[in-house]
Homo-oligomer: A and B are copies of this chain.
Amino acid sequence: MSMDVLQEKIRQKKNPTVAGLDPRLEFIPAHILQEAYDQYGHTLQGAAEAYRLFCRGLIDALHDVVPAVKPQSAYFEVLGSAGIAVLEELCAYAKSQGLYVIMDAKRGDIGSTCEAYASAYLGGVQVGDQIISPFDCDSVTVNGYLGTDALKPFTTLCKARNKSIFLLVKTSNQSSRELQDLIAGDRVVHTVVADLAIRLTDKEQLMGASGWSAIGAVVGATHPKDLKALREKYQKLFFLVPGYGAQGGKAKDVQYAFDRFGHGAVVNSSRGIMCAWQKTGGDGHDFMDAARAEAIRMRDDIGRFVTVL
């Protein structure tokens, strides 16, 4: 199962972090914007070209430091098809550089529609005599509000194509409590979702050799008590932990996401790494060095509390 692949990449680099690719035009150095606009003007294609240059630079700077990248689909969708074309290229490029690619798309729908989402991000589509994969990511984030119908098309591909998914359990934002923390009988709603992941893991035989299900869970760094309780309760679920850095989560908070071997979690940072150049006093020509230095600083910061064995 694919969560084995992620755990192994983390072990090799001794770094349980993932770099989020959430590009926004205001995060991109002026000389890159200029180059892109010179070529395509103030168009969606111009903006997409700036994303492309910036994110390829980040991948080049980070690929031997971090085990994984997590592109956030929303920031590419806002540029329409021009953004999606760049997203396709970046997924392929990150994979070619040995990175595990987690598409942060938070998809969820009824079964037949979810088959299309699963095919889009983890599988492929049959066109005449060809099977074509537009993104072919290693993993995708999934929203479980619609229940197991929305998960099965993804888990089918997890098994068939050695992929994984991360199910939204307890998200990092403040209003996550409105639904996710409701008490339903003797369970909190977000544990009902985690229980679905466990049930499906057993039913569909999704356990990997390294002891993690192909269904992981998104659990925010901003709720360390929940993180700790969930880690203790769900020992088969690998955690994707957003909320470190810009959103307020600290290294001492995220340590609770890991087991005693320093396994079972990967911590995301997006803005901290992407915007590191804005804090060097330079003009952005150093964005790759700055991103790399911040990724190393983050690795070492978390390393004060967690040692990956």
Cross-chain contact A147 with B135 (CB below 8 angstroms): no
Out of B47, B114, B185, which one reaches A127, CB within 8 Å? B47
Residue of B nearest to A133 (CB): B80
- Please report the C-alpha to C-alpha distance between residue A238 and residue B103 in the assembled complex, in whole angstroms: 33
Cross-chain contact A176 with B146 (CB below 8 angstroms): yes
A177: B residues at CB distance < 8 A? 147
**Contact residues of A between 111 and 134, Cβ < 8 Å to B:** 111, 113-114, 116-117, 119-120, 125-130, 132, 134
- Please report the C-alpha to C-alpha distance between residue A163 and residue B128 in the assembled complex, in whole angstroms: 39
Cross-chain contact A111 with B189 (CB below 8 angstroms): no
> Could you tell me the distance in whole angstroms from the C-beta of A131 to the nearest C-beta in chain B?
10
Residue of B nearest to A196 (CB): B178
A25: B residues at CB distance < 8 A? 125-127
Contact with B along A274-309 (1 / 0, CB 8 A): 000000000000000000000000000000000000
Cross-chain contact B78 with A134 (CB below 8 angstroms): yes
Cβ-based interface call for A164 (8 A): no
For A, the interface residue count at a CB cutoff of 8 angstroms equals: 73
Cross-chain contact B46 with A127 (CB below 8 angstroms): yes
Cross-chain contact A146 with B125 (CB below 8 angstroms): no
Number of identical monomers bound together in the oligomeric complex: 2
Contact with B along A17-30 (1 / 0, CB 8 A): 00000101100000
- Please report the C-alpha to C-alpha distance between residue A25 and residue B111 in the assembled complex, in whole angstroms: 17
Cβ-based interface call for A162 (8 A): no
Cβ-based interface call for A156 (8 A): no
Cβ-based interface call for A160 (8 A): no
30 residue pairs A–B, Cβ–Cβ below 8 Å: A24-B116, A43-B127, A44-B125, A44-B134, A74-B120, A77-B134, A78-B116, A78-B119, A80-B84, A80-B134, A81-B84, A81-B85, A83-B134, A106-B107, A106-B108, A106-B109, A106-B143, A108-B143, A110-B173, A143-B145, A144-B179, A146-B171, A146-B173, A147-B176, A147-B178, A147-B180, A149-B174, A182-B189, A184-B189, A189-B189
Cβ-based interface call for A259 (8 A): no
A176: B residues at CB distance < 8 A? 146-147, 149
Residue of B nearest to A183 (CB): B184
Residue of B nearest to A124 (CB): B78
Cross-chain contact B107 with A74 (CB below 8 angstroms): yes
Cβ-based interface call for A265 (8 A): no
Cross-chain contact B74 with A81 (CB below 8 angstroms): no
Residue of B nearest to A22 (CB): B113
> Could you tell me the distance in whole angstroms from the C-beta of A173 to the nearest C-beta in chain B?
4
**Contact residues of A between 22 and 72, Cβ < 8 Å to B:** 22, 24-25, 37, 41-44, 46-47, 72
Cross-chain contact B44 with A132 (CB below 8 angstroms): yes
> Could you tell me the distance in whole angstroms from the C-beta of A85 to the nearest C-beta in chain B?
4
The 9 A-B pairs at the shortest CB distance, nearest first, are namely: A80-B134, A147-B175, A42-B128, A147-B178, A81-B85, A74-B116, A182-B184, A110-B173, A81-B84
